[in-house]
Amino acid sequence: MLNRYLVAAAATAAFALPAAASAQVTRVQSNPQALILDAAEVSAGADMIYLSGQLPSPIDPAKPMNAVTSLEEMGDTKTQTISTLSKVKAILESRGYSMSDVIKLTLFVAADPRLGKMDFTGVNEGFREFFKTDENPNTVARSTFQVAGLVGPHFLIEIEAIAAKAPAR
């Protein structure tokens, strides 16, 4: 009787190995016109990377961050979103991932003092430069939070990212 259980357990384990080797990411989107996903499901065995919150850079790449004295030097919310997602893209690519591997973003957005509120339209305009494009037809699960402020007075957005892909063979 014990041998039969051992054989069954061994057979189950043998079938489990190919499943891990074929790890995949399933994107769940009830409305294909929606800008973001409902969810992303990652099967066991997928390679994943979690990025810390990234902040935008000054519009002038030669300007050091500690020399920034005005919001104009950082740009509006759209400009800062593009800058921040460009940093996310560079980090991912340095680790063998691409923007099409991103499955989840968390956006922290401060009010633009020139508008007196969070510029959600600007966030989405910047977002559209990276997702649901010809280069990257994928989109992501996403949460956006308005925050009282970020680490510096000229930052309007900070973005955390999670990416997942089938393991390299």
Q: 120-162 pLDDT, tens per residue?
A: 999 999 999 999 999 999 999 999 999 999 999 999 999 999 9
Q: State yes or no: pLDDT of 7 exceeds 70.
A: no
Mean predicted lDDT score pLDDT of the chain? 89
User: Contact at 8 Å (CB) between 24 and 166?
Assistant: yes
pLDDT tens-place string over residues 100-118? 999 999 999 999 999 999 9
User: Domains of the chain (ranges plus CATH)?
Assistant: 22-165 (3.30.1330.40)
Burial degree of 4 (CB within 10 A; 0-12, 13-18, 19+): exposed
